[in-house]
């Protein structure tokens, strides 16, 4: 039976602010995320989350610019592919190509904004909703499994974990997206130098605009670095305050 009291309780749970996390938690989660991004083994596994955000960025940009989205594929080597139909040139195609490499960092920045207001539960539930929305776009078995596992982990943490575990999970995840969004740009640069990615997003953008591929690699890097700086200020505001600084 529908209950307004139950709805009000859910609303309060979602939108109420949790207590400020300890400064040590903010610092340790940043260190853990950096270690995952820097280490080859953990990065190969965790990079799936970056790929999900990357392809989700392509898909969202395609839909918002009026292109027809045919589907998304996620592969076990952490690569992905988003298929859409429409004009092969023009602003819609440019924005669709541009969105991929900047999406993980921008998602991390949005997460940092929520965590800056201590909306931990809201962040986790928004993540679950976005993963479910992307699930309907997936067109291969590995992609479905990848999203189900990722979404299941986030849902389990949001539903069963203690507030302390939720905070550690949320801060680590957001730090990881902010930091992890940068590494693929350097990987792109290195692989292009070796001639291994002749049809990369940057190269396709070069074919649609007057600017060379290296310019677009630079754009990806500048956007992601800016997101990291702003996101770090949002996440570490309390640390800066304790250090006698104001943000």
Quick one: which of 124, 132, 109 has its CA closest to 166? 124
Burial class (CB in 10 A: 0-12, 13-18, 19+), 184: buried
The DSSP secondary structure of 140-186, one letter per residue, reads SHHHHHHHHHHHHHHHHHHHHS-HHHHHHHHHHHHHHHHHHTTHHHH
- DSSP assignment, residue 71? E
Can you give the pTM of this predicted structure? 0.91
pLDDT per residue, tens digit, the chain (247 aa), is 445 555 556 556 666 777 788 889 999 999 999 999 999 999 999 999 999 999 999 999 999 999 999 999 999 999 999 999 999 899 999 999 999 999 999 999 999 999 998 899 999 999 999 999 999 999 999 999 999 999 999 999 998 999 999 999 999 999 999 999 999 999 999 988 887 777 899 999 999 999 999 999 999 999 999 999 999 999 987 666 655 554 4
- CA dihedral (165, 167, 172, 175) in degrees, to 10, reads 180
Both structure tokens of 214: 């290296």
Predicted confidence at residue 20, as pLDDT, reads 82
Quick one: which of 130, 128, 119 has its CA closest to 167? 119
Quick one: which of 236, 233, 241, 221 has its CA closest to 29? 236
Predicted confidence at residue 2, as pLDDT, reads 46
Predicted confidence at residue 166, as pLDDT, reads 94
Are 4 and 115 in contact by the 8 Å Cβ rule? The answer is: no
Predicted confidence at residue 13, as pLDDT, reads 63
Q: Chain centroid to CA 118: how far?
A: 18
């Amino acid at each position: 039976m529908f209950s307004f009291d139950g709805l009000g309780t859910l609303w309060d749970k979602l939108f109420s602010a949790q207590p400020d996390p300890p400064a040590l938690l903010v610092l340790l989660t940043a260190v853990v995320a950096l270690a995952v991004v820097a280490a080859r083994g953990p990065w190969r596994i965790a990079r799936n989350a970056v790929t999900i955000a990357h392809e989700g960025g392509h898909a969202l940009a395609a839909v918002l610019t009026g292109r027809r989205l045919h589907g998304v594929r996620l592969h076990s080597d952490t690569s992905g592919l988003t298929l859409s139909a429409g004009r092969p040139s023009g602003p819609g195609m440019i924005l669709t190509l541009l969105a991929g490499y900047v999406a993980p960092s921008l998602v991390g920045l949005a997460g940092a904004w929520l965590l800056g207001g201590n909306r931990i539960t809201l962040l986790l539930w928004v993540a679950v909703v976005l993963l479910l929305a992307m699930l309907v776009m997936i067109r291969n078995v590995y992609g479905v499994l990848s999203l189900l596992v990722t979404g299941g982990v986030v849902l389990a943490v949001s539903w069963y974990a203690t507030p302390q575990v939720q905070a550690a999970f949320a801060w680590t995840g957001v730090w990881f997206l902010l930091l992890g969004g940068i590494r693929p740009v350097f990987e792109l640069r290195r692989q292009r130098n070796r001639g291994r990615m002749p049809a990369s997003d940057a190269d396709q953008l070069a074919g649609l605009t007057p600017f060379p591929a290296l310019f677009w690699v630079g754009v990806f890097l500048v956007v992601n670095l800016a997101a990291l700086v702003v996101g770090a200020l949002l996440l570490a505001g309390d640390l800066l305050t304790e250090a006698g600084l104001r943000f």
